[in-house]
Every structure is written in structure tokens, then in C-alpha cells.
Amino acid sequence: MPNKRRKDGHRKSGAPLREIDRYRQLIHMSPDMIAIHTKGKITYMNPAGIRMLGYTKAADVIGRPISQFLHPDDRPMVADMVNDLYSKKKNRHGYRFRFMRPDSTVIYLEISSAPASRNDPESRQVLARDITEKVKSEESLRASEELFRLFVQGVKEYAMYTMDTAGNITSWNAGAQRLKGYRRNDILGKHYSIFFLPEATAKGIPQALLKKAEKEGQVENEGWRVRKDGSCFWAGTLLTAMRDGSGKLVGFSKITGDLTDEKHTTDRLIKEVRQLQAVFDRSHAVMFLKDTSGRYIRVNGQFERSFGMKATDILGKTDREIFPPVQAKEFEQNDRKVIDARVPLVFEETARYRDGQHTSLVVKYPLTDERRSIYAIGGVVTDITQLKMDEALLRSTNMKLEAVLNSAPLAILTVDDRGRVMSWNRGAEEMFGWKKEEVMGKIFPAVPPPGLKDYLDGIRRGFKGESVAGYRSVRRKKDGSIMEASIAYAPVVDSDGRTGSVIVVIDDITDRMRAEREVERSREKVLNMTRRLESVREQEKKKIALEIHDELGQMLTALKMDLSILQEGVSTGRLESQIEMARRLGSSIRLIDSAIDTVRKIAADLRPGILDHLGFEAAISDLGRSFEKRSGIACTVDVKLGNVKLGQEQSIALYRIVQESLTNVVRHSKATRVRICASRANGFLSFEIQDNGKGIDEAQLSSHESVGIFGMRERAEAIGGSFSVAPNANGGTVVRILLPSDGAKGGASGRINRN
């Protein structure tokens, strides 16, 4: 019995563990992200979440704040929303965030959050679902709606507008403005009964039509309508109830045509009104839908009339079964281009209609499902006259121009005759910091008050037809900073030759002007340096000449005197003894030795021969010993290049830099110790001359008159290296030269700083 109890107890205690294992397995295999966040940092994330963020290991995400994975552009905007996920102890659902993967691809996640545990208020459990494809589908739907909106706005023969469920106007196309006289801003929000005669309104006809359309779906109606100026016209209207996917009424659409001239031809009037019963079935343009295999799904009445066919003879068939081979091949090729490109495309197609050959402008567009799979191709075919073709070309050109303007790195805007902004490209937003909606209709805000007169003068000249280019002025950014700008003004002329606006093109030349000024300063600096270098050369020549004249000349003169005395003594027998002769000869030999030393010193200053005979290391060591001997300043040389070989130009340049540095130590530093060292690291040779003197200050570093520093930098750059001089961290000054040495082997004795 005891054994049985232990066995049962083990089975009871094991059951919860198996439940936990199943729960963990469920989380592990979930296709959605499941994560735990504690104190704002990720403490657990399942494999699906790690893959969703573009990583392979849990260590790549654990311990990091969720904000690090957000898209950088969205972090400031969604900071409060992220904080809200962790606020209080509430569940949060439906947040959408953009995340950026390590490979820079962007995904959309829908996030829900709930407390992880009652005992741990700082921990949150987060469920995230990848809705990237859903977001893309929504964007595609918006694009299709925009295409339809553009189509409606382009119709000028008919008034087309929408209303809310109460009959208040919510949209207004160009045809409505032309037909009824109201501008868009004047009519939006007003009840559509404003177009009815007072007696019709008194009878409740506008409301009755809305109710009938709501009940029946569509209502055709004819009657007198009133324009803004009070004039009347006979209108043929089609009122359609708009419902959402659930069947709920969301508003009404209305198409109105001016049938005044055709009022007495009733039969023709009815026919024309019925052709407008729907955008698709009543459109004057040929419209169709095909599946991805090229079979027609639907055609409108205009399609039937244009090609002289009935819909029953078209639906379910391909172009090859309906049209001549050449025409069918062109249609199919253009369909395939749309499927491959996955974007709407515009084609110019030639087709034989019932009454002959026609050229049409065809807009073909893909229809996609929620998975962004193309399931059909739609087409709108317009039989174009020259005028309509010109209008289509103008619209296309305007769209391309807008894209070009937005991609240009310049600020491009148009203004009216009072300087108010009419258009504002992306380059202007980036250059000045103001968004388009902040400046539209306002005086260009980037003009400082002192420059306003010149700005308005440029606009006035533009409206007179003049183009002004290369005008330079200053402009103010949104953050208050000032930039230098090159500005051009040009008139924008319409087809009638009238100037409707002025285009202003602004280029930020702040950096260019700064560079020009810097070049000018550099040019002046080089000229000053050249003059000083020439002066230094003359001083060096003078020094050498003085050394030859004063030291070597005096020695040779003394030697000549001793030899003359010896010559005279030998020839006349006046020398008192051999001791006197030996003394005179010894003096001459010493003078000759001094002259030789002087000649060697001068030659060494001009060209250190030890470089050619013993190499760079020996030459630097000799230079250090000579410096220590002459100056009394302790000098340590630690230059071991190993298998690195310096060229002749590199050796002499480095020797001269070290020589000049030691000269500066004696002149300026008041140092007691100097160290010359070389090291190798990361493919570079580093040469340093360090002293423990008083150091160098910023004034000396930035002085344009510092010929020594300028000369050393020129020598370093001439052999492909870099030069720097700066205060040493331990006091004194350090001069550093870095040379590329990709072939150097072995390690380095210290870290190389590129100052």
C-alpha cells in the first residue's frame, strides 16, 4: 500500500508538468510572436517572434528594449503608444507598428498586450501578428480607389458627386463645378436640395428620391435644377445608394447630365440617361474585366456597341477567339506586361471597331486579393480625339513632373503674385524643415524680413515674363538656422500665354560658399607660406654661406699662414729647430681636421650621408646622439622597423621631420627628455617624437605662420602619410606620422591613434 500511494502521488504531481510542457510546446510552435517584457525589456520570445524580427538566435533579442526594433522614423511618433502597452494593468489590443529587420526590410506587426502575472506588475505578455501583407493589400485598395477618384474627377461632361446618408454633399468633381457653377469649397457640406426648385423642395422631392434610392438601390430622375447663378437647366440624374460589405447604407452617389438641349427629343434623352446608370455599364468609355488566363469576365454596354457584339458572345472567351490575330496578340502582350509589372500601365492600342479602325488610350490595372495575388485585369478604353489626347498627355506630364520635382535635391516651389506658396516639393521640406501643409497659401516663410523686398521683386519680374538665375541671398530654416542660397525665378506660362505663377528654385550653397572661402583662405595661406619658405631658404643659404666664410674660410686662412711660414722657413733656413717645424705642422693638421669636420657638418645638414650608407635606423640613432650632445637634452631612440623597408624619399622625409621636431624642442619646449619611437599596427607605421616640455597650445597649432609645422605636414603628405601635432596626455608635445604599411608583419607595441 505505501508503494501504491507513492505511485499515485507521482502521477498526480506529473499531470501539471505535462500541461506546462504542452503549453510551452504550443507557444514554441505558434506562428505568431509571443513574448514577455519585463521593465521594458524582452525577457522571452518564441522562435516565430525571433524569425519575424529577422534574427536567428534568442540572444539577439533578449534583454533589448522593444523600441530598438521599431522603424527609426516611427520611434518618436509611437513612443507614447509603446508606453501605453505597459501602462497600468489593462489589456491592449490592435496596435500597429512598423519594425525594421537587420537586412533593412520593413514589416508591420499588430500587437496585443496583457499583464503576464498578477504577482509581477512590471511584466507584460505580448502577442504580435505579422500583418505586412494585409497592410500592402490595404494600400493597393487605396490605390485602386485613388484611380477611380481620378477617373471621376477627369469627367467634365457630367456632374458626379457623393453625399452622406442625410443628403449632404461630400465630394465634387470638375464636371459638377462646370454644370452647376459651385466651386468645391462652396458646396461641400451643403444639402443637395439646394439644386431643386423651391416648389420641388416644398413637396419633399429631394428626400423622397433619397428614400427611394435607399430602398431600390438606384433612381433615375429628370427635372429642372438650379445653378449657383439662379439659371435653370433640365437635368437627367442617376442617384445610387452606396452600401458597405455588410449592406449598411453609407451614402449616395449622383450623376447629373445637362439634357436641356435634348428635352424635346424624349426618346434620345432616355437612352442617354440610361447609359449613365452606372460608372461601368453606362460609361462612354469601353470597360472590361478579364481573368488571368485572358477570358472576359465582364464588359460594359459601350464595349458591345463599339465592337458590334453582344455580351453573351464575348464573356468566357479570349481575345484570340474574338478579334483578328494581330489585334489579339497586341492585347495579350499588354495584359502580360501588367501582370509582370503588378502595377497599372497605360497603352496606346489600335483596334477595329464596328465602324472602322480606332486608336484608343487604354489603362490596364491588376486586381489583387488579400494575399496580393492577381486574380483579374481591368481596363478602361477611351476613344480619344486630339484634344483628349493632349489632355491625357498633359496629365501624364504633370504627374511625371511632380515625381521629378519631389526627387530633385533642390527646393522647388511655385508662388502667386503676392508671394504665397502654391506648391512645395519634398526637397523644400527637407531643405527648410516646413511640411507642405504648413506653408501652402502663406508667404514663403524662409525669407528673413530684410530680404523680403528682393524676394517680391524677383516674383514681380517673373510675372513680367523675366527669368532670373544665379541670385544669391540668405534663407532661414524652420529651426532658425541661416543658409546661403542660390535662387532662380521663372514664369509658369499656360497654354494661353498667361503667367499664372512663378516657379522658384533654391539651391543650398552654404557648404559650397564655405568651401570657396576655405579655398580662398588656403590659397592665401599657401601664398604666405610660399613667401616664408622662400625667406627660410634664403636664410639657410645665408647660414651655409656664413659657416663656409666664417668657419671654413678662417681655418683655411690660418692654414695658409702656417704653411707660408713653413715654406719661408724651409727656403731661408730661419726655422730654429725641428721642434718648431713639427709644431707648425701639427697646427696645420688640426686646422685641416677642423675644416673637414665643418665640411662634413655642412654636408650632413644638406644631405645626411649616413642614410645612404647605414640606413634609416642608424641615421635616426646618430641624429638622436648628436642632438643630445649639442643640446644637453636626454634623447631616447627606439626605432626598430624589422622587415619593413623604407624608400629613399620616405627615409629622407622622415629624417627631416624628426630633425625639424628636435629643432622645435630646443627652441620652444624647455624639455629635459625626448623620445623617438616607431611602432606597427593595423597596416600602419607610426613614428612619434615625444617631449616632456611645456606643450603646444591651440594658438600655435592654428597659426598660419607656423612654417615648421606646415613643412613637416607637407613632407608627410608627400610620401602618402598623415601628420599630427598635439599636446601629450602626460605633458609636453607629441608629433606623430602615420604611413601605410600593408606589407608589415608582426604585431605592434602599442595602439595607434589617428589624430
| Mean pLDDT, range 470-478, rounded to an integer | 85
198 secondary structure, DSSP code: H
Q: Looking up cell 457630367, which residue turns up?
A: 158
User: What phi, psi does 731 have (nearest 5°)?
Assistant: 100, 150
Does residue 183 register a pLDDT over 70?
Answer: yes
pLDDT digits (tens, 9 = 90+) for 517-529: 888 877 777 677 6
- Starting at the edge strand that comes first in sequence, how are the strands of the sheet with 468-476 ordered? 421-424, 411-415, 499-508, 482-493, 468-476
Residue 295 pLDDT class (50, 70, 90 cuts): very high
Spatial separation of the C-alpha atoms in residues 394 and 386, rounded to whole Å: 12
Does residue 273 register a pLDDT over 50?
Answer: no
Spatial separation of the C-alpha atoms in residues 146 and 252, rounded to whole Å: 18
At 648 the pLDDT is 82
pLDDT digits (tens, 9 = 90+) for 420-438: 998 888 888 888 899 989 9
pLDDT digits (tens, 9 = 90+) for 96-113: 788 889 998 999 888 887
Q: Are 42 and 68 in contact (CB under 8 A)?
A: no
The DSSP code sequence of 14-34 is: HHHHHHHHHHHHHHHH-SSEE
| Mean pLDDT, range 75-91, rounded to an integer | 62
At 533 the pLDDT is 59
What are the grid coordinates assigned to 390, written together? 493632349
Q: Which of 39-48, 165-174, 741-750 has the lowest mean pLDDT?
A: 741-750
Beta partners for residue 358, in sequence order: 351
Helix (H, G, I), strand (E, B) or coil at 286: strand
Spatial separation of the C-alpha atoms in residues 74 and 99, rounded to whole Å: 9
Q: Are 625 and 604 in contact (CB under 8 A)?
A: no
Spatial separation of the C-alpha atoms in residues 337 and 335, rounded to whole Å: 5
Q: Are 124 and 221 in contact (CB under 8 A)?
A: no
Q: Hey, CA dihedral for 565, 566, 567, 570, is it positive or negative?
A: positive
CA 254 to the chain's CA centroid: 45
How many other C-beta atoms are found inside a 10 Å radius of the C-beta of residue 226? 19
The per-residue pLDDT of the chain, averaged, comes to 79
Q: Are 378 and 367 in contact (CB under 8 A)?
A: yes
| Mean pLDDT, range 631-638, rounded to an integer | 90
More confident residue, 408 or 254: 254
More confident residue, 378 or 539: 378
pTM: 0.31
Percent of the chain scoring above 70 in pLDDT: 76
| Mean pLDDT, range 401-406, rounded to an integer | 74
The single-letter code of the amino acid at 715 is R
Helix (H, G, I), strand (E, B) or coil at 42: strand
Does residue 515 register a pLDDT over 80?
Answer: yes
What are the grid coordinates assigned to 130, written together? 505579422
At 191 the pLDDT is 94
User: What phi, psi does 706 have (nearest 5°)?
Assistant: -80, 85
At 195 the pLDDT is 93
What are the grid coordinates assigned to 531, written together? 613667401
Residue 574 pLDDT class (50, 70, 90 cuts): low
Q: Which of 39-53, 232-246, 320-334, 562-576 has the lowest mean pLDDT?
A: 562-576
Q: Are 621 and 631 in contact (CB under 8 A)?
A: no
- How distant, in Å, are the alpha carbons of 165, 244, 249, 476 from that of 211? 10, 17, 11, 57
Percent of the chain scoring above 90 in pLDDT: 18
The single-letter code of the amino acid at 215 is K
What are the grid coordinates assigned to 98, written together? 512598423
At 274 the pLDDT is 54
Helices (H), 342-499: 386-407, 426-432, 436-439, 452-463
Q: Are 377 and 364 in contact (CB under 8 A)?
A: yes
Does residue 47 register a pLDDT over 80?
Answer: yes
Spatial separation of the C-alpha atoms in residues 482 and 476, rounded to whole Å: 5
Residue 270 pLDDT class (50, 70, 90 cuts): low
More confident residue, 701 or 1: 701
More confident residue, 587 or 667: 667
For β-strands 634-638 and 673-681, DSSP reports them as parallel
At 210 the pLDDT is 94
At 260 the pLDDT is 81
At 182 the pLDDT is 93
Q: Are 508 and 483 in contact (CB under 8 A)?
A: yes
What are the grid coordinates assigned to 266, written together? 424624349
At 229 the pLDDT is 92
At 262 the pLDDT is 73
Q: Which of 321-335, 596-610, 727-741 has the lowest mean pLDDT?
A: 596-610
At 570 the pLDDT is 64
| Mean pLDDT, range 537-566, rounded to an integer | 66
Q: Are 446 and 477 in contact (CB under 8 A)?
A: yes
